[in-house]
Chain A
Amino acid sequence: MGTDFGICIQNIKKKIILNDQLYGFDTERSELLQIVKKTIDYGESDSVIVLGPRGCGKSVLIESVIKELLPDSHTLVMLNGLIHTDDNLALKSIIQQLQIKNLDGAYVEGSYADNICFLLESFRAGNKMASKSIIMVLDKFDMFCSHTNQTLLYNLFDAVQSQQNPLSIIGVSSRIDVIELLEKRVKSRFSHNILMIKPPSEPHELLGRLKCLLQLSKDCKIESDVRKNWNNNINLLISDPQLQDLMNDLLKLSNNNTKLNMLVFMALSNLSKDKMLMVENLICSFNSLYKQDLTLVNLLGLSVLELCLMISICHHSEIYNKEPFNFEMIYARYCKFASRNSSLLVTKRQVIIKAFERISIMELIQPVTAIENKNILKEYRLYKSSVNLDKMKAASNLYYRLPPVILQWIDSNII
């Protein structure tokens, strides 16, 4: 065809990564907007928690609400429980984000007590009408609950409650029981506004999302005929029944939007510049992303000796009802098999130990206690297996040129 779709692909990829387009959630959006507007326009502080499973679009929702506000009307403070792992860090970050213009370096010095005093002072100094309102977003809200005494949360909610400086707190969490994590004194200060977000549950919703992702809008700097061509193709693609099946499969797997984004990203990356996106591309990347059984791949990569040890381990777990095992037990079981069946399989103990160690390095088996006890010899260290016998059987059937004795062994009546 000769048309270059490289720019189209790049634009869409950028869109996926920036992930700033909200699809759906209109009622939730207006509700949240109302809360925030109240703070900005009338100085009424409030708090709300946005709940929803991972990757259903909570952060995108909040971002789209904030984008709607005039940038000068408020000060935005973004915190994330993953980054701000204790109150001290969170506090420093709050101060830093609040007065970024006054501070010359990007660093906040001072002790925890100083900082919290300073923050509370400044909250108190503000009043309803004159002060600029603050919007504080606490991502991974549940992680803030584990900070000691929930001091930060208490103080923030207290500031909201006592209507000092206009402040609205938006917590974001995927834990449904997040309210229960709050201490009593914190809980009583929280407004109990909870916004539930529901991920897409029907394939047609997912298709709509996909269409929204893939279509190019007018403000992209692309020649109009190329864009039209691309969009027409996407329309055709969306109506393809194969794609609907694929969306069904994806939905069975997970309703996480990020998974869909990843899928499209992968498909677009593997696309060459002069081709249109086809269903086959999507199916292909779906298979490579989510369909591969990695445990099986790992088992097939083992040597025959290591595979035999894994079989011994699985037999052992089967007989002893998933009791932990040590090297000696597995070695005894392996030797029993090897000496009875094939002289070729008899190997020196030292080599078998090494093979056993390799299995544990790959974490196909894991030590029972996390902390290694140096007083236990490595032969007697207890492990548990993360592979079951059925998986082993599947692997041994696929294994390239496995000696038939081993195949018989794995199927044999083990007791």
Chain B
Amino acid sequence: MLSNLTKLSIIKSLNSEFLFREVQIDTLCNLLIEDDVLPPCVFVHGLPSVGKTSLISRLLFYIRDSTKTSIVNSVCCYTNRVLFESILKDLLQIKQSDLPHRCDNFMQFINVLKQFSIQKERVIIVLDKCEMLAQELIVVFSKLQEFIKSHQLCVIFVSQVLPTKFDEDINFIPIILEQYNSVEISEILLIDKPNDWSIEVYKNFLTVFIGSFIGNCRDLIELKHLAKILFVKYVEPIQDGSCAELNQNFLFRKISPTIQLLLNNVYLGTSLESVDSLSDEKIKFEKFALDLPYYAKYFLIAAYIASFNSPKYDRKLFVKASNKRKKTKLPKKSDNSISELVGPKNFSLDRLLAIFYAIIEENTNMTANLLAQINTLADLGLLMRFGDGKLDTPKYKCSVSYDCIINIARTVKFNIDKYLIDQ
């Protein structure tokens, strides 16, 4: 009954590490621990950051004595050879140089496995992020047990993509890790409580925090990160003594601007240092716009106009000989016009130059320096260059958003709205 005890203790410690996963841990342990017979194929599925990989690798860590395991992240395996050889290295515990043979295809992989008589051992292969693998490889791996003729080999697929997206021929045992709900998330975040604060303070903080963030983000890793940043801000008034520890209303009023700020930067990799600089984002952005040279800005504006207006309006817009009728006929730009929904269109260099000269007020000579600006813009990623192989007829597309171009236009006191037409 010794093995039964270890199984129970493994289940117990896994449950203490991974909260709210009792059912899944039970099933996994029943399938993978202590028994001589392993299922051919298990599919672990769940949304991002619900603990799929960490749960599996922890479980395998506990049974590492009785089982040979290999955990491979499929993203790293850009060729089959990398995939096969890294699995072999793990399973056979040898170095790359000791591999008897190159292992480019599945046949060689199976041959090597058979040669080392892997059938006699318990083996678990984990393919993390298996959606990156080719469809055929997944089918083949799901039948590995049949090919090797071993009843002690199991392949575990881990993926955030639904198993139904793969070939239906795979017969797997699905293990579904559900997303945590808000109560569970607050329980889990409570584990990370900083040591020098009482549990009441942190609990109060979490109520505020989860209430405001759960709508935008249920990703545990991101929430953990945001909580860490926000808590520092949250306790500032308590630290400098301006507030009692449990004056929730006051603390909430203090923190709400920061919450608003962070809410607008979920998933954007905000760090504690950058929180303060985020608040004057507008200034920062204008700085960026200012950084471009004067002519480059006009080029960008011209490119934007060329991308979002149809060429047939060019004549009406830019020909200086005024004809009163035409202006009234032009439709006005409205928010979210159709042209903006399908994205920018290509334009030729000639059209760009023509519009550039039409909108710039001063006389400038066309010099190499001026043309170099266009290339600079393309290199900066503000314009996209389309080559059809010919050097003299390049096509461009503007890749800047409306908000950005408005900012740039404002810095050179140019009214771009006047030139944008809703088709």
Q: Which residues of A contact B (CB under 8 A)?
A: 10, 13-14, 17-19, 54-55, 80, 82-85, 89, 92-93, 105-107, 256, 258-259, 262, 265-266, 269-270, 273, 288-289, 292, 294-295, 297-298, 300-305, 326, 328-329, 332, 335, 344-345, 347-348, 350-351, 354-355, 358, 361-363, 375-377, 379-380, 400
B111 within 8 Å of A (CB atoms): yes
Q: Is B147 an interface residue (CB 8 A)?
A: yes
A-B contact pairs, 12 of them (CB 8 A): A10-B36, A13-B35, A17-B38, A55-B171, A106-B114, A107-B111, A301-B50, A328-B342, A348-B264, A350-B264, A380-B342, A380-B344
Q: Interface-forming stretch among B55-63, B212-220, B243-251, B314-322?
A: B212-220
- Selected from A297, A344, A350, the residue in CB contact (under 8 A) with B215 is A344
Chain B 136-183 interface residues, beta-carbon cutoff 8 Å to A: 136, 139-140, 143, 145-147, 151, 160-165, 169, 171, 173-174, 176, 178-179, 181-182
Given A266-B173, A289-B173, A363-B162, A14–B110 Cβ distance below 8 Å?
no
Cβ distance B395 to chain A, nearest Cβ, rounded Å = 10
**Per-residue interface assignment for chain B, residues 263 to 303, with 1 indicating a CB less than 8 Å from any chain A CB and 0 otherwise:** 11111100000000000000000000000000000000000
- Cross-chain contact of A354 among B160, B267, B386 (Cβ < 8 A): B267
Residues of A within 8 A of B399 (CB): 377
In the complex, chain A residues whose CB is within 8 Å of the CB of B216 = 303-305, 347, 351, 355
In whole angstroms, how far apart are the Cα atoms of A304 and B107 in the complex?
Answer: 47
A220 to B99, CA, bound (A): 39
Closest to A254 in B: B168
Contact of A10 among B35, B40, B215 (CB under 8 A): B35
Q: Does B105 contact A (CB under 8 A)?
A: yes
> How many residue pairs at the A-B interface have CB separations less than 8 Å?
166
* Residue pair B30, A269 in contact (C-beta under 8 Å): yes
> CA A34 – CA B367 in complex, angstroms?
89
Given known contacts A14-B37, A347-B264, A301 and B107 CB-to-CB distance under 8 angstroms:
no
- On chain A, the residues within 8 Å of B46 by CB distance are 301
Whole-angstrom CA separation of A358 from B222 in the bound complex: 13
Minimal Cβ-Cβ distance residue in B for A336:
B336
The total of chain B residues at the interface (CB under 8 A) is 71
Could you tell me if A303 and B214 are in contact, using CB atoms closer than 8 angstroms?
A: yes
- A-facing residues in B34-56 (Cβ within 8 Å): 35-40, 45-48, 50
Consensus secondary structure, chain A interface: helix
Which A residues are in CB contact (< 8 Å) with B267? 351, 354, 358
Tell me, rounded to whole Å, the shortest Cβ–Cβ distance linking A111 to chain B: 16
Q: Is A363 touching B131 in the complex (CB atoms < 8 A)?
A: yes
- Say if the beta carbon of B340 comes within 8 Å of chain A: yes
**Cα-based distance from A106 to B117 in the complex (angstroms):** 13
Q: Which residue on A lies nearest to B149, using beta carbons?
A: A18
Which residues does chain A contribute within 8 Å of B264, judged by CB atoms?
A: 347-348, 350-351
Q: Are A82 and B140 in contact (CB under 8 A)?
A: yes
CA distance A259 to B169 in the complex (A): 10
- On whether the beta carbons of A18 and B151 are closer than 8 Å, the reply is yes
In the complex the two chains form, is B218's CB within 8 Å of A302's CB? Answer: yes
B171 touches A303 (CB 8 A): no
Flag whether B101 is at the interface (Cβ < 8 A). yes
Q: Given the complex, which residues of A lie within 8 Å of B174, measured CB to CB?
A: 288-289, 292, 294
Contact across chains for B35 and A269 when beta carbons are under 8 A apart: yes
Looking at A259, A298, A350, A375, the one whose CB has the most chain B CB atoms below 10 A away is A298
The residues of B that contact A297 with a CB separation of less than 8 Å are 176, 178
Partner of B106 from the list A82, A106, A273, A302 (CB cut-off 8 Å) is A82
Q: Which residues of B contact A379 (CB under 8 A)?
A: 343
B122 within 8 A of A: no
Chain A positions within 8 Å of B263 at CB level: 347-348, 351
CB neighbours (8 Å) of A265 from chain B are 39, 173
- Beta-carbon contact of B176 and A294 below 8 Å: yes
B27 sits at the interface (CB 8 A): yes
Known: A10-B37, A14-B37, A18-B151. A375 touches B397 (CB 8 A): yes
Verify A298–B343 contact, CB threshold 8 A.
Answer: no
Complex Cα spacing A337 to B46, Å: 29
CB distance A363 to B165 under 8 Å?
A: yes
The verdict on A361 contacting B48 (CB below 8 Å), with A328-B340, A351-B266 known, is yes
- Name B176's closest neighbour in chain A (CB-CB): A297
- Give the chain B neighbours of A10 by CB distance below 8 A: 35-37
Is B115's beta carbon under 8 Å from chain A?
Answer: yes
What are the nearest 7 A-B pairs in CB distance? A301-B179, A380-B343, A348-B264, A13-B37, A354-B267, A17-B151, A304-B215
A326 contacts B107, C-beta separation under 8 Å: no
Report the bound CA distance from A347 to B268 in whole Å.
14
Contact B107 A259 (CB under 8 A): no
- Does B191 belong to the interface (CB within 8 Å)? no
B105 and A89 contacting across the interface, CB-CB below 8 Å = yes
- Please report the C-alpha to C-alpha distance between residue A266 and residue B28 in the assembled complex, in whole angstroms: 11
Give the Cβ gap from A187 to chain B, nearest Cβ, in Å.
26
Q: B341 in the interface, Cβ–Cβ < 8 Å?
A: yes
Chain B hits for A270, CB < 8 A: 26-27, 30
Kindly state the separation between the CA atoms of A262 and B37 in the bound complex, as whole angstroms.
13
- 14 new A-B contacts, CB < 8 A, other than A13-B35, A332-B336, A363-B131, are A10-B35, A55-B171, A82-B143, A107-B111, A266-B31, A266-B39, A269-B35, A270-B26, A298-B162, A326-B342, A326-B343, A363-B162, A363-B165, A377-B343
A8 and B160 CA atoms in complex are apart in Å by 36
